[in-house]
Amino acid sequence: MSTARVLLVDDRSENLLALEAILQGLPVNTIAVTSGEEALKRLLSEDYAAILLDAQMPGMDGFETARHIKQREKTRHTPIIFLTAADRDAHLAMRGYSVGAVDYITKPFDPWMLRTKVKVFIDLWSQGQALRQTSERTKDLREREGHLTRRLDQARDALAAWREGREADPEIDRILALLETSSA
């Protein structure tokens, strides 16, 4: 199973370094980018357990970036946690939630709280990966079962056709009876 990735999006490199330090030691690869445009490009080619997104960036801000993320089928369900240095403005928080954020955290924040929240999304992503693998394995096994059942039916039909017109053979009759009950 692959390692979960978390996308870190902030126009300030010192904030990205701080986020990487906070998440260090978790079972995650962090990918840091400095703009919404870069984030959207990364999201085209890779899946992420979560996105930590600065709300206020020059150019494409976090809200617009989140809107684009939520419009794409592939990324629609990727959890976004907004991080912002802005004061606790209820309007900005509501704006964040309205574009699909699962959380909106103002700085300064408790690094252990953020780490714990991200860990939950890493765990959910890992469980989803395991479930997808189990589903694929189940599908493969069902296909193999169908193939084997068809081959068994062909063998039974061939044996029954061969048996016709021959004198009684208790062993062949026993095998045919077993094949009949196994396909029922």
Query: What average pLDDT does the segment 136-143 reach?
Result: 92
pLDDT of residue 48: 96
Contact 28, 52 (CB under 8 A): no
* Neighbouring-strand partners of residue 29: 5
Q: Which helix (H) or strand (E) holds 52?
A: strand 50-54
Contact 107, 84 (CB under 8 A): yes
Give the range among 1-10, 51-60, 72-81, 159-168 with minimum mean pLDDT. 159-168
Q: What is the pLDDT of residues 65-122, one digit of tens each?
A: 999 999 999 999 999 999 987 666 677 788 888 898 999 888 888 999 999 999 999 9
pLDDT of residue 89: 65
Residue whose structure tokens are 């709300």: 55
Measure the CA dihedral 20/26/30/36, to 10°: -80
110 DSSP 8-state letter: -
Q: What is the mean pLDDT of the chain?
A: 89
Tokens of 96: 């964040």
Backbone angles phi, psi at 125, to 5 degrees: -60, -45
Q: What is the pLDDT of residues 121-132, one digit of tens each?
A: 999 999 999 998
pLDDT of residue 86: 66
Contact 54, 86 (CB under 8 A): no
pLDDT at 168 over 90: no
Please tell me the pTM assigned to this model.
0.76
